[in-house]
Structure 1
Amino acid sequence: MKMGLFRITVLLSVLSLVSGCASIGREFPSSQVSVITIGETTQRQIRSMFGAPWRVGIENGQRTWTYGHYQYSLFGEGSTEDLVVRFDNRGIVASYVFNTTEHQEGAPVAGQ
């Protein structure tokens, strides 16, 4: 039984390497970015909309939460999305940045 599980694991690993794809981070509902309001949206609301952050940190004394999903491919185009939210000392959104490679030229980006 253990040998069968080992073989399946090795096979899946090899297939992953051969496909040339890698995924980092976690998917998040990027359609919700337009709902964020600077000076009003709270940490609790951000967590409710996007779930637990993928990374947390501090930038210029402000707590930051990062949501990101990055897919890379050796044989085709990859895709990336990330959202960095900065909170003031009250836990209210002070600023945010959303970036994606999934866009159409001339189309407005969420939050604009």
Structure 2
Amino acid sequence: MKFKMIEVQSDIKPVKPNYVLALILISTMIIFVSGCITLGKDFSEANVSSITIGVTTKNEVRRLFGSPWLSGVQDGQPAWTYGIYDYSLFGKRKAKDLLVQFDDQGKVSSFTFSTTDHDE
């Protein structure tokens, strides 16, 4: 009696680990467990004292602080916002923002700086 070997082909391919998906899942879990999120863009608060109402221009503000995180209109005037906001479920929340309003000539008409960090 002779046996003949039959080769069986299968379309089943071995499963390769998806490292990108695993990295995304692990990162998401770390963020969820740590409970922290940061929004905005940091800026140098040391430059706030360089702003002079009626003198400082949009170009000078951009040179001092970079591009604004948000821009829009407030009280009918163009306004730029620079801000960074750190939120945490378990730790200290921090916020720092600068709102700059401009007049029709593109000069600062008002500005407000606020921070939750009073150690500086």
TM range (shorter): 0.7 to 0.9
Q: Which residue of 1 aligns with 2:53?
A: 38
Q: Which residue of 1 aligns with 2:73?
A: 58
Q: Which residue of 2 aligns with 1:5?
A: 20
Q: How does 1:10-89 map to 2 (within 5 A)?
A: 10-89=25-104
TM-score by length of 1: 0.88
Which aligned runs of 4 or more in structure 1 are off by greater than 3 angstroms?
A: none
53-62 or 64-73: which moved more?
A: 53-62
For structure 1, which runs of at least 5 residues remain unmatched after alignment? 108-112
**1:13 deviation in Å?**
1.1
Q: Which residue of 2 aligns with 1:110?
A: none
Aligned Cα root-mean-square deviation (Å): 1.5
TM-score by length of 2: 0.82
Higher relative contact order (CA 8 A, sep 6+): 1
Count residues with an aligned counterpart.
105
For structure 2, which runs of at least 5 residues remain unmatched after alignment? 1-15
User: Larger Cα Rg: Structure 1 or Structure 2?
Assistant: 2
* CA distance in 1: counterparts of 2:88 and 2:102, whole angstroms: 34
